[in-house]
Amino acid sequence: MAKLQIQNLTKKYGDNTVVNKMTLDVENGQLTTIVGPSGCGKTTILRMIAGFITPTGGRIDLDERTLVDIENGISEVTPENRNIGMVFQSYAVWPHMNVFDNVGYPLKIRKTDKRVLEAEVNRVLRVVHLEGLEKRMAHELSGGQQQRVALARALILKPKLLLLDEPLSNLDAALREEMRGEIKEIQMNQGITIINVTHDQIEAMTMSDKVAVIRDGILEQYASPKELYEYPINRFVAQFIGTANILPATKEAGQEPDENNMMTIRVCDRYTMKVPFKDSDQTEGYAAVRAQHIEDEAGSGLKAIVRRNLYQGSQIEYYLQVDGCEEEDLIRMLMEVDFEKPEGSVIEIGIEKAVWLDD
């Protein structure tokens, strides 16, 4: 296990800042996922941790060992001396080697004793559930099996830290779900610290102890999946993690929290409700509302027109045009299948739960 500390990590290419003063702590044995849209700097962060890219500024420490500190002129530790394992998006399974030789290659080039090498290969093959497939060639493996080979090869040197660069993106939906569970199982059973990079919010939410949301090289929020989902810090996080409706809202200045640490806001200038207190001087902002927290509420005063309804088996997803909101901004609502409203229906809705956002 290892603790990773990143302070003010920066990477520039000319005038283009790809990663901007990112600070992040990853605790021992923790699985942290870095998530964000394409081009936000996720993979660049991972490659700076691995030592493949030299930062423009900042510092990286692994278990109190400084890997690089640009401002203080501490020389960068080379990738092979960092004791970090990495699994790439493309797997990089050598086609001319069988499973055993692929997995054992890192030990072979270190001239490890043959008996030790064989024992270690067998150990990690058991960890990734590939025992019995030692003699198979790469072309005889499924995508999921190739991914397990790459994972075993990264684990065989017993790294302090394991880096995963979108390792599941080439797999189909069923295999992605299976591998998410297996990676989490390895993390828990082996006690290894893992940093995973993905643009898949479901992968980030289901696998991770904590999630770092990145936008344009800037860390927007770093928290547990539950905290990110229930208390996003801004509109970007609210809409990227779980897809929230963003409604215009106002509140009175100088409000104090009530006995339940709540405050009063007015949504769409028509609907008054309580939300968790936020210490902010702003009187105009937004209410972030999940689709499942919008409900049918006769007499609420917040009218909506059903513009689309999508049957999803166990529920129906409605797209609503809500009074007080921009006409082109349709609001999502999820309801049980026994709540049936055709397109064009006028309903009144309520909001069960929301959070206030300044930005």
Condensed to tens digits (0 to 9), the pLDDT of residues 278-305 reads 988 899 999 999 999 999 998 888 999 9
Q: What are the C-alpha distances in Å from 316 to residues 9, 42, 255, 300?
A: 45, 35, 38, 22
**Does the pLDDT at position 173 exceed 80?**
no
Alpha-carbon torsion angle 169, 171, 174, 176, nearest 10 = -40
Report pLDDT for 51: 95
User: Average pLDDT, stretch 91-116?
Assistant: 92
**Does the pLDDT at position 327 exceed 70?**
yes
Report pLDDT for 4: 97
Contact 85, 158 (CB under 8 A): no
Q: How confident is the model at residue 46 (pLDDT cuts 50, 70, 90)?
A: very high
Among the ranges 44-48, 256-260, 294-298, which has the highest mean pLDDT value?
Answer: 44-48
Q: What are the C-alpha distances in Å from 115 to residues 111, 118, 119, 143, 150?
A: 11, 5, 6, 29, 22
Q: Which of 2-6, 21-25, 179-183, 291-295 has the lowest mean pLDDT?
A: 179-183
pTM of the full predicted structure? 0.89
User: Average pLDDT, stretch 328-351?
Assistant: 92
**Does the pLDDT at position 243 exceed 90?**
no
Q: Which of 201-215, 266-280, 322-336 has the lowest mean pLDDT?
A: 322-336
**Does the pLDDT at position 29 exceed 80?**
yes
Report pLDDT for 1: 62
**Does the pLDDT at position 162 exceed 70?**
yes
| 251: nearest Cα among 211, 287, 297 | 287
Report pLDDT for 15: 94
Whole-number Å distance between alpha carbons of 28 and 161: 9
